[in-house]
Amino acid sequence: MAKRPEPPKEQGVTVRVALPDDERVRKASLAVYAFSQGGKLMDAKPLDAKGEVALRVPIGAEGTNLRLLVGPRLEDQDRSVAELMRRGAVERHLRVDRGVERLAIDISVGLDTILCWLRGLCVVRGTVLKRTTLGGQSIDLPVCNATVEVYEVDRFPIILPKLPKLVLDRLRDLILHPVPLPDPIPDPLPGPFPGPFPPGPGPDPAPFQGAAALRRLSPEVAPQMMHSHAEAATALARLDQAGALRFTARTGSDLDFQRALLDHELLLRPIFCILFPGFFTKQLVATAHTDDCGHFRTRFFQGCHNHDTPDLYFKVKQRFLWWDIVIYAPTPVPCYTWWNYACGSEVTLITHHPLARTCPPCEPVVAGDNWVLFTAIGQTSMNAIFGDSQALQGGTTPANRGLTGGGAPFGGTLRPQLLFDNSLRETLGVKYYRLFWRRAGTLDWFQMLDDVGRHYTYDGGGGQPVSALYKLGPLSPPEAPVANLFEIPPSLPPQGVWGPVIAPVDYQNGVFDTTLPAPGITYNANGAEVGTDQSGKFEIRLELFDTAGAPVDIAALGIRYFVPDVDNLAGTITTVDAAPLGLVDGSAMVVTVHVDNNPTYAEIDAPTIGAASADPCCGVLGFTPGDMVTLPWRAKHKNGFASYSFTTKRVDEVVFSTSGPVGLVGNHSTVQSAQGLMDANLPVGCLPGGCNVAAFASLEYVTAMATDGWSRLQYLDSADFEAFTLSRGGPA
């Protein structure tokens, strides 16, 4: 019967590390690691203040040989012999026999080595954003609770010696005889699930697979791919100017040619990105997690003797239900590598992945203490509204007050957007607000009572995210001390994190349906106005309440109202005090918007020559040389907040086109030579006067200017179409 091996026995090993007497060394975070001869971690402990460590390692009957390494303190997932040696750890080998009472070893570490560990540290920081379109506007939302993987990509000095002979010969031929790259596809890509591929970063297209390969890239990849393609095309065109490289390609050995390629790394990098991406490999060096604002920060060690700046590639994952999905990993890798990354600099990673979950935007507001910011109507900054803005204050008149800087009125459903300093809730006891509206010049205020809330996400168990809605209002007892209060959003949700952001509900702090007090007129079949115009100036009022539901005295608490002084709300929001702008009434804030829900009207009348018009049966209008054709149309808006475009085509060729504001008159026309319409903009091969009869069509579109703050109200637009035929000498 075989003899069983004796069970392992724990052996104590004391490691004494001699360190230089230097303040920088005392601040360094160092540790001692014990590995088996095969590279298995047996124990690891940080150095104490005396520079000593007591390790415990399992020893079999035959004893073993330990590998002891002194180096920087690493996270659990990074504790490997390979990683420590890459970082320049000091190594000693120690024979350990079974039965030895006490073992000790002294290891000396020099100052240069420790400073190298410190200087070899590279900090990586950045932000992950999801770019999406809300209300016709492109906005970036932070991707929170995501894992960012940081990879170091092989450098060119590592890649070039590995290139096979076939690739070197192809490079020689390409340098000596540059050929243009195939054109990428410039048109918009399909939706978020293109082709047969699942949602995500998409496949890695082989070189020169053309349009089909580019189409299969994910949305965040394709536009960058176009950019990389353009850089590669430029690099190919510049090869003619690289005389030394071309000479070596023609006459040099493979070794000489590789050296010449290395000397022209910057020129060749975009070419390798498109044509030879498969030769680049990457190694995971660090991971990080994004916070509620999409920010991440991590660090990795480049190694003590690595004088090259790192080349980094990023991949982002996020938990979806029970598994992790990749929401950002563009390919080919060399096209999306941050070459020569400057440690500590900011990177921005933008994804369009449909499953990427976001949190509310973390706009840094620059304002005074205890601020309340009336940010926008929808996504239109108050800075872009006459009378509510410091920038437009000098140009504000009674007529344009409440209009946008472009002269557009508001209409439809308006959703005021507010931001509150967290000090209001946390230190001043101000917990609630109310929003009201009224027609300017009247006495009665009407409260906005539509539901307002914010979405938040929490772990429902087993890693499955659950989305819920936090109701801000209207709240009444027992949820609030008095009826119809709206809660100032707290800094943190009941659990989890804020998001996903769903527009417009996660932006609005109130809802004002302007079609109730100002529905707009209509038009009958003849274009006559029906109804009474109710458009005009409306005011929106903001009031604050404390935890007991009592109105707040803002002067007593040191609270101030602000408005932005920037139009773009996606970045830092700088502000101005609202009081000097006349927007503060006691302890309330009042802003003005001009509301106009009137629709447009478009109608094209039949063309005429003198008193004659196209016959009603066939639509033919006869003419003789020298006759002039009048093309009339009507473009109307009750108050002129619209523009028109009018185009006349002969078959498919434009023969007349005009556009402009509708004005308050509404009737428009143009007089054109009949023969000129027949001969204008003729296709190649057609001769003037060659047609006796021609078919025409006039098209009119009237565009309303009104906006709800998110997008223009297209449902107020109108259009018309009129076809006719010109016949020389009379009806055909």
Q: Is the pLDDT of residue 234 over 80?
A: no
pLDDT of residue 265: 63
Q: Other CB atoms closer than 10 Å to residue 290's CB: what's the count?
A: 24
**What are 287's two structure tokens?**
């991971």
DSSP secondary structure of 649-682: EETTEEEEEEEEE-TTT-EEEEEEEHHHHHHTTP
Query: Is residue 247 within 8 Å of 259, Cβ to Cβ?
Result: no
Measured between alpha carbons, how far is 235 from 25 in angstroms, rounded to an integer? 47
pLDDT of residue 8: 66
Which range has highest mean pLDDT (39-53, 167-181, 252-266, 642-656)? 642-656
pLDDT of residue 101: 67
Alpha helices in 141-209 (DSSP H): 156-159, 165-176
Domain 9-119 shares a fold with domain 600-728: yes
DSSP secondary structure of 65-132: EEEEEEEE---GGG--HHHHHHTT-EEEEEEE-TT-S-EEEEEE--HHHHHHHHHTEEEEEEEEEEEE
Does 182 sit behind a cis peptide bond, omega within 30 degrees of 0 on the bond before it? Answer: no
pLDDT digits (tens, 9 = 90+) for 621-632: 999 888 999 999
Higher pLDDT, 470 or 111: 470
Query: Is residue 683 within 8 Å of 566, Cβ to Cβ?
Result: no
Higher pLDDT, 161 or 316: 316
Q: Is the pLDDT of residue 491 over 70?
A: yes
Question: Residue 495 contacts by C-beta under 8 Å, 6 or more apart in sequence?
Answer: 456, 458
Q: What are phi and psi of 236, to 5 degrees?
A: -60, -40
Between 451-460, 505-514, 540-549, the lowest mean confidence (pLDDT) is in 451-460
Banded model confidence at residue 308, pLDDT cuts 50, 70, 90: low
pLDDT of residue 687: 86
What average pLDDT does the segment 690-702 reach? 92
pLDDT digits (tens, 9 = 90+) for 564-576: 999 988 778 899 9
Higher pLDDT, 665 or 349: 349
Between 108-112, 206-210, 363-367, 504-508, the lowest mean confidence (pLDDT) is in 206-210
Q: How far apart are the first and last CA of the chain?
A: 117
Between 279-288, 304-313, 392-401, 409-418, the lowest mean confidence (pLDDT) is in 304-313
Banded model confidence at residue 179, pLDDT cuts 50, 70, 90: low
Q: Is the pLDDT of residue 91 over 50?
A: yes
* Helix or strand holding residue 13 (H, E): strand 9-18
Q: Is the pLDDT of residue 203 over 60?
A: no
**What are 431's two structure tokens?**
């917990």
Between 207-211, 283-287, 412-416, the lowest mean confidence (pLDDT) is in 207-211
Q: Is the pLDDT of residue 228 over 60?
A: no
Residue 340 gets the label, from left (phi > 0), alpha (psi -120 to 50) or beta, of left
- The pairing of beta strand 371-377 with beta strand 667-673: unpaired
**What are 133's two structure tokens?**
């379109």
108 strand-pairing partners: 18
Query: Is residue 202 within 8 Å of 218, Cβ to Cβ?
Result: yes
Mean pLDDT of the chain: 81
Q: Is the pLDDT of residue 156 over 90?
A: no
Residue type for 108, please? S
What average pLDDT does the segment 50-62 reach? 80
Banded model confidence at residue 473, pLDDT cuts 50, 70, 90: very high
pLDDT of residue 197: 29
Q: How many residues does the chain have?
A: 732
Q: Tell which residue, 320, 640, 570, has the closest CA to residue 460.
A: 320
Measured between alpha carbons, how far is 292 from 204 in angstroms, rounded to an integer? 31
Q: Is the pLDDT of residue 637 over 90?
A: yes
Q: Is the pLDDT of residue 211 over 50?
A: no
Distance of CA 658 to the CA centre of its chain: 37
CATH architecture of the domain with residue range 600-728: Sandwich (2.60)
- Maximum CA extent, the chain: 124
Annotate 418-437 with b (16+ C-beta within 10 A) or e (fewer).
bbbbeebbeebebbbbbbbb
pLDDT of residue 134: 56
Which CATH number applies to 9-119?
A: 2.60.40.10
Banded model confidence at residue 335, pLDDT cuts 50, 70, 90: confident
pLDDT of residue 162: 66
What SS3 class is residue 353? coil
Query: Is residue 597 within 8 Å of 709, Cβ to Cβ?
Result: no
pLDDT of residue 188: 34
| Residue 460: CA count within 13 A, CB half-sphere | 11
Between 100-109, 383-392, 530-539, 603-612, the lowest mean confidence (pLDDT) is in 100-109
Structural Rg of the chain based on CA atoms: 36
Which range has highest mean pLDDT (92-106, 173-187, 316-330, 397-411)? 397-411
Domain boundaries, the chain: 9-119, 126-351, 365-595, 600-728
Question: Residue 479 contacts by C-beta under 8 Å, 6 or more apart in sequence?
Answer: none
pLDDT of residue 236: 55
Q: Tell which residue, 507, 517, 488, has the closest CA to residue 597.
A: 517
Q: What angle do CA 450, 452, 457 make, to 5 degrees?
A: 150
Q: Is the pLDDT of residue 548 over 90?
A: yes
Higher pLDDT, 194 or 669: 669
Residue type for 676, please? G
* Helix or strand holding residue 557 (H, E): helix 554-557
pTM over 0.75: no
What SS3 class is residue 418? strand
Measured between alpha carbons, how far is 363 from 38 in angstroms, rounded to an integer? 52
pLDDT of residue 192: 29
Annotate 442-472 with b (16+ C-beta within 10 A) or e (fewer).
eeebeebeeebbbbbbeeeeeeebeebeeeb
pLDDT digits (tens, 9 = 90+) for 505-534: 889 999 999 999 999 999 998 889 999 999
Higher pLDDT, 192 or 85: 85
Query: Is residue 700 within 8 Å of 604, Cβ to Cβ?
Result: yes
Question: Residue 97 contacts by C-beta under 8 Å, 6 or more apart in sequence?
Answer: 59, 63
pLDDT of residue 384: 95
What average pLDDT does the segment 286-300 reach? 87
